[in-house]
Amino acid sequence: MQGLKITITLSVLGMATLTVGVAAQDWTQREFPLAPSNSSDNFVAPYFDGFYQNEDGTYTLSFGFMNRNDEDLIEIALGEDNFIEPAEFDGAQPTSFPVVSYTRLGLFGGPRERGAFGVVVPADFEGDVWWTVTTDGYTTRVPGRLESPGRIIKGAYELSRGAMAAGSLRPGIRFEEDGPEVVGIEGIRYSQTLTASVGEPVEVRFWAVDRGERELVPVNMSLWKHQGPVGATVAFESLTEAPAGAAAPRRGFRAHGPGPVRTGEAVLLPTEGAQANMGHFTAMFDTPGQYVIRVRVDNFNAADSGPGLQCCWSNGYVVVSVNEDKY
């Protein structure tokens, strides 16, 4: 049995494929990606959310992940344990996989992080884009594709860019006040690589607006260590003012206004005043290296929006080079 591989494909509004070397796996700890999870010592599974057709005819394949632990952060460096094929599409995937629990916070979405990054393929693309992740010797991989298996519904993985039932659309994000605004999973990358030193915070500003076809709602920001050295910590602190007159946050959510922000925690942006529609935060690093911060902006406050609905967030990415010594 040694060396035998079993491949299982699951398709349920997104797809995860598990490739298992039987002799190397502990089946009491490592199950299929959609099985009930264990509390610890578990793995991270990559997911394909679906695809969008872009205005220029290209397609964006949306990928996310599920960390199947209750609390344990999993980090896997880019390389032989975390790569995308064909190689021309490799490099945009995360190296840090925190535990998320949107259900626990009263939001539809469960323990899966959707739309963490996108891969853009040409209009005439054929075949699959595979994302492979190995956690402690246990490998999971998933194909991103434009056509679903079978003969009936070839476009089953296509996601809508249209408005939700009450009019929610993805918010727009830009890194310059009068700069280009981008909408979508593939997002926008800050034009400069920021430089920082260990223990010295770097400051970031951006602007984000709701675009819903309904009464506009405030936008949330959440901050993520997308890439960076394994084991390195990024400490985020919001400098964003509390929105005037905003309702108190729901139980389990962060209080409005400046202060420390945990990974993935929502911060409500003001829509009026000097900081209207502006997100403002610092990030401080404890280890030198190259980092990518993901800034997710969402309108999950709207009735028809949520992290599991594939509709209502856009990504921004900030590259930071961190030196050992103060520059």
Question: pLDDT, tens digit, for every residue of 55-96?
Answer: 999 999 999 999 988 889 999 999 999 999 999 999 999 999
Task: Please say if the pLDDT value at position 256 is more than 70.
Answer: yes
Q: Are 62 and 92 in contact (CB under 8 A)?
A: no
pLDDT-derived band at 327 (thresholds 50, 70, 90) equals low
Phi, psi (degrees; rounded to nearest 5) at 85: -125, 140
Secondary structure (DSSP) of 114-175? EEEEEEEE-TT--S-EEEEEEETTEEEEEEE-SS-SSSS-TTTTBPP-S--TT---PPEEES
What's the rounded mean pLDDT across residues 307-324? 93
pLDDT-derived band at 247 (thresholds 50, 70, 90) equals confident
- Whole-number pLDDT of residue 257: 85
What's the rounded mean pLDDT across residues 266-274? 92
Which tokens sit at 230? Answer: 């394994």
- Whole-number pLDDT of residue 309: 84
Higher-pLDDT residue of 34 and 266 is: 266
Rounded-to-integer distance, Cα 242 and Cα 251, Å: 17
- Whole-number pLDDT of residue 296: 98
Specify the range with the lowest mean pLDDT, choosing from 103-107, 133-137, 154-158, 277-281.
103-107
Q: Which of 173, 183, 209 is nearest to 118 (CA)?
A: 183
Q: For residue 28, give every residue at least 6 positions away whose Cβ sits within 8 Å of its Cβ, in sequence order, or none.
A: none
Rounded-to-integer distance, Cα 129 and Cα 49, Å: 13
Q: How many CB atoms lie within 10 A of CB 164?
A: 21
Beta bridge partners of 278: 207
Q: Which of 314, 317, 242, 247 is nearest to 275 (CA)?
A: 242
pLDDT-derived band at 24 (thresholds 50, 70, 90) equals low
Higher-pLDDT residue of 154 and 243 is: 243
What's the rounded mean pLDDT across residues 12-38? 55
As a whole-number percent, the residues of the chain with pLDDT over 70 amount to: 84
Q: Give Dmax (Cα) for the chain.
A: 67
- Whole-number pLDDT of residue 32: 66
- Whole-number pLDDT of residue 4: 32
What's the rounded mean pLDDT across residues 175-191? 94
Rounded-to-integer distance, Cα 191 and Cα 228, Å: 19
Higher-pLDDT residue of 152 and 70 is: 70
Can the peptide bond before residue 111 be classed as cis, meaning omega within 30 degrees of 0?
no
Task: Please say if the pLDDT value at position 1 is more than 50.
Answer: no
- Whole-number pLDDT of residue 242: 86
- Whole-number pLDDT of residue 11: 37
- Whole-number pLDDT of residue 237: 97
pLDDT-derived band at 22 (thresholds 50, 70, 90) equals very low
- Whole-number pLDDT of residue 17: 53
- Whole-number pLDDT of residue 310: 82
What region, left, alpha or beta, does residue 285 occupy, with left being phi > 0 and alpha being psi -120 to 50 degrees? beta
Q: Which of 224, 207, 267 is nearest to 242 (CA)?
A: 267
- Whole-number pLDDT of residue 326: 62
Task: Please say if the pLDDT value at position 311 is more than 90.
Answer: no
pLDDT-derived band at 277 (thresholds 50, 70, 90) equals very high
Three-class secondary structure of residue 23 per DSSP: helix
Three-class secondary structure of residue 299 per DSSP: coil
- Whole-number pLDDT of residue 9: 35
pLDDT digits (tens, 9 = 90+) for 112-123: 999 999 999 999
Q: Which of 76, 48, 68 is nearest to 137 (CA)?
A: 76
The mean pLDDT of the chain is 87
Rounded-to-integer distance, Cα 249 and Cα 170, Å: 22
59-67 and 44-53 as β-strands: parallel, antiparallel, unpaired? antiparallel
pTM equals: 0.88
